[in-house]
């Protein structure tokens, strides 16, 4: 009943920028927090950045100063602006949302993932 749809991935050269978007839809009463995680083959999924419904942000040390997470509460959408991209940022990026549904359940929803490739 809840969908997260990501967009914005692709191929970019080192030093370049990309902006990811993720829109949540479906049976949603409120979204507590939204965030981005990433995963490369053979490794565990890792946190990139999160933002609460009050705007409190949290970043992985590896992306601090280069990535910016933001959110449009009215649109249930989260963004990830990625600047100064490095080859080690190459990964599948997943959107995540912690939210409540009309039945007072707290759900942990995930998007399908979008591939970001940083290469010359």
Tens of pLDDT along 53-94?
A: 999 999 999 999 999 999 999 999 999 999 999 999 999 999
pLDDT at 15: 98
Calpha distance 8→69 (Å, rounded): 14
* 43: DSSP letter: S
pLDDT at 29: 84
pLDDT above 90 covers a percentage of the chain that reads: 87
pLDDT at 1: 84
φ, ψ for residue 6 (rounded to 5)? -95, 155
Across the chain, which distance is largest between two alpha carbons, in Å?
49
pLDDT at 104: 84
């Amino acid at each position: 009943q809840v969908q997260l749809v990501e967009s914005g991935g692709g191929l970019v050269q080192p030093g370049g920028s990309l902006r990811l978007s993720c829109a949540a839809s479906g049976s949603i009463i409120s979204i507590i927090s939204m965030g981005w995680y990433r995963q490369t083959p053979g490794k565990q999924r890792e946190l990139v950045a999160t933002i609460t419904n009050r705007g409190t942000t949290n970043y992985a040390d590896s992306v601090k100063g280069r990535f910016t997470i933001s959110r449009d509460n009215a649109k249930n959408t989260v963004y990830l602006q990625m600047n100064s991209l490095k080859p080690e940022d190459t990964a599948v990026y997943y959107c995540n949302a912690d939210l409540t549904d009309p039945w007072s359940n707290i759900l942990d929803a995930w998007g399908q993932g979008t591939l970001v490739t940083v290469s010359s």
